[in-house]
A and B are shown apart, each in its own frame.
Chain A
């Protein structure tokens, strides 16, 4: 089966004038109207601007003008991507009522191409969580099973795309926040290389890990979005200037002779159904002519503590600015300034955010800095080197995206450590700043989707997208969200 993308399909119908952009947009807005109550994917919808943009696109089509690849395609943004004049809260009480006075660079670019923004989607508060349940709006639900989480932190984007309420969405991935919800909801999630996508306007959780990435229905969709959002932005000093090779036109790659690394450490402590699905995926790649290389990534065992120390340290500093004085929530003005700020932060931040601020403050404090932050920084280098060594032996790595399928609601809050541990397969990638994507590769006995993770060399998103596309073709799109794709 030739699996194409949702985006290409919509674009084709618009250009053939089978349907107008406004009609497509209205259909999505209707879907939101009908389904969002159950899925809780959107925390804010923007129907007026969506329809306004859609009509502008229809006018362009009527004039016979060419459209940019994502022009007129209805989409959503995670609620931590700044949108000028549109409330952006990070799903935190502390930012309630905050409307940015500028656009994130990525949104500025897409808005300039008439991307149709349907609204802002749910997330774990400040992207801290793996279930979307730390959102001040309550968590987003999984389209496959409403009793389960959509994953996190970009759970709202996954729930919206998987629930047919957006053609694609942009999330952010700090420790797996795009890939894991994509995995939980049977979607494709791409975390680009650190420095590939501008972070300007992405409200920071952990600056040296955060990266914006798409959640889409197919690999071809992910390639189209990747091509649109990867550009050099001088407003982000960590953005890397380079010659960009588009991925969308390069999906039909022959996998014969391609070396795929499988590290045994990734396969430990993985649910049997997940292990089985990943092993079957390996067999598919072998049948396509790829060479499977077994190797070891010994530094995986230190990845979680390194990630949680460094990410929390950066978060404790990044979140220091929320004092309720200039914008967002303020817990009254009684008492002196410090009391006012203290009360605002105590009431404005949820427990998970407070936990990470405290953790981060602790590891940076005088007397503890060397034992925690400095040591973690050193070990970060070791993780980077072990990936370098692995890539000497293979072209990309293959692993599960998460050791489990979607949790039932409430499980994470009761078991914070266990939930942190479920990030084991995704955080090493952020530590090393590498690109990785998750694609659906199977279902567990309950019918919940399982995600396969492909991890590439820096700035080699193209190879991952092509390999994912080939897998979809070889498996007849059997694991994709067929209902949405139809």
Chain B
């Protein structure tokens, strides 16, 4: 069998987190009673007119700036006409030939670049709810603002798609334009996919798999569809251009409609809205307001702060965690702070959702103070670790948890005295050590630590004990 490569391009819909909808004043809040967040405008009542929410333009341009897009100073809205019960006007207000943003890029860790063709704004449709054989329509989501991010056919594997989507998700969250929750449908993607023999320069016929809202299903769907197309070609068949749906139960994709059944959307300029103008001043302002993007943050953590790549990636993955880290690591050893966060703190935030929400038991300043004590040699790591745990338990600052004596340090004499006591009071362990059982040293160190409330330096104590035992 010949070797094939898959080629894919993505269309990703990201729900923007503006407070109100794109063309009316209704709230965009998720999860309320059906049809409670709608008005004559977003239900398309006769005679109503849309009014463009300026925040939507701002958020979309911010998304474009974060992905290196060129921002069109002049753009417009168009009508995309099609009939479906979740679309009360029988057209979606979208952007056709003058999108807000064009020609951006997202870099992958393998050095490849995914080119972004365009980012445009549009309104979401309502939602069909199937209840006991009836289909009901909930218009709460109708008119929620979306950006559609379209890429060139630059993907060569499902892993690349996943990384791209994760980067996109993180970028949008970091700049605060979307929460990108796949499970709530605020990030959905369509994959255009084709295969060709390795070495071929021409594209094969593509199919489009619609509306995937989880990474797992996306990966399975892409794997299945790639195999299906290769098998088809190998068995002498041809791929037909069509739209397919991934069935989660069977793990297969199935045809929804062919090219000949494709809608003719009859795009034309939306006459109810005026031209959208974005000024240079606005763009400069939004560029200046831009927080550090994930890829820049990652660079800083690995290069400037010298964190291991895996640790840096884990911190960057959760924008709130990264911000917490940045605050705590100000002027102290970053690796120490990272270790506390990735260890003790992460154990208390086991799920992704908890890490996202990052309800920290203590302010970053507490962790910073703790790390400063370690840096200053006032606190050894053992005591620091138990102190941090206590801090997380009680929410108290380091000054409440450690006494002056704890922080006073331990002079050589005091340590020698404790070590002597350890030898005297643990004859069995001493005998074992003398008999060559190195492990028994643990009991003596334990004694020393207990007696010094963890202040003793384990290395120095071990050396001293060995000397005493001879």
Enumerate chain A interface residues (CB-CB to B < 8 A). Answer: 80-82, 88, 90, 95, 98, 100-102, 104, 199-204, 206-208, 234-238, 313-314, 316-317, 320-323, 325-326, 337, 341, 361, 364-366, 369, 373
Contacts and interface: CB of A to CB of B under 8 A. Distances in A.
A320 B45 contact: no
Interface string B40-52: 1001111111111
A207 B51 CA distance: 14
A337 B83 CA distance: 11
Contacts of A361: 266
Shortest beta-carbon contacts, A-B, top 8:
A320-B90, A364-B266, A208-B271, A207-B271, A203-B47, A201-B47, A203-B46, A82-B47
A199 B49 contact: yes
17 contacts: A100-B45, A102-B40, A201-B47, A202-B47, A203-B46, A207-B271, A237-B49, A238-B273, A314-B268, A317-B91, A317-B268, A320-B81, A320-B90, A321-B44, A323-B90, A364-B268, A365-B264
Given A326-B88, A365-B266, 18 more contacts: A82-B46, A82-B47, A88-B46, A95-B46, A102-B45, A104-B47, A200-B48, A203-B47, A204-B46, A206-B271, A207-B272, A234-B51, A238-B274, A316-B81, A317-B79, A323-B83, A337-B85, A364-B81
Contacts of B51: 234-235, 237
B267 to A, nearest CB: 8
Contacts of A82: 46-47
B268 A313 contact: yes
- Chain B: interface secondary structure? loop
Nearest to A198: B49
Contacts of B79: 317
Contacts of B50: 237
B272 A237 contact: yes
B49 A320 contact: no
B134 to A, nearest CB: 12
A361 B79 CA distance: 13
B268 A201 contact: no
A366 B264 contact: yes
B89 interface: yes
Contacts of B272: 204, 207, 236-238
Nearest to A199: B49
Instruction: Tell me whether chain A's interface is mostly helix, strand or loop, or mixed.
Output: loop
B429 to A, nearest CB: 83
Contacts of B44: 321
A321 B40 CA distance: 13
A200 B46 contact: no
Interface string B14-56: 0000000000000000000000000010011111111110000
Contact of B40 (A95, A101, A204, A317): A101
Contact of A237 (B81, B89, B268, B274): B274
A208 B52 CA distance: 17
Interface in B246-294: 264, 266-268, 271-274
Nearest to A98: B46
Given A102-B40, A313-B268, A317-B79, A235 B49 contact: yes
A109 to B, nearest CB: 15
Interface string B91-129: 100000000000000000000000000000000000000
A201 B264 CA distance: 29
A82 B45 CA distance: 10
A234 B23 CA distance: 12
A156 B89 CA distance: 28
A366 B50 CA distance: 26
Contacts of A316: 81, 266
Nearest to B44: A321
Contact of A317 (B48, B81, B264): B81
B266 A317 contact: yes
Contacts of B83: 320, 323, 341
A305 B85 CA distance: 34
Contacts of B88: 321, 326
Q: Which of A81, A95, A321 has the most CB of B within 10 A?
A: A321
A140 B44 CA distance: 30
Interface string B56-92: 0000000000000000000000010101010011110
A101 B39 CA distance: 9
A232 B51 CA distance: 14
A245 B83 CA distance: 44
A325 B85 contact: yes
A394 B385 CA distance: 88
Contact of A321 (B89, B266, B274): B89
A204 B48 CA distance: 9
Nearest to B266: A364
A438 B85 CA distance: 43
A202 B271 CA distance: 14
A369 B79 CA distance: 14
Nearest to B264: A366
Contacts of B267: 364
A365 B265 CA distance: 8
A51 B115 CA distance: 67
A364 B271 CA distance: 14
A337 B135 CA distance: 11
A321 B46 contact: yes
Contact of B49 (A100, A208, A236, A325): A236
A204 B47 contact: yes
A85 B85 CA distance: 25
B268 A200 contact: no
A337 B43 CA distance: 19
Contacts of A207: 271-272
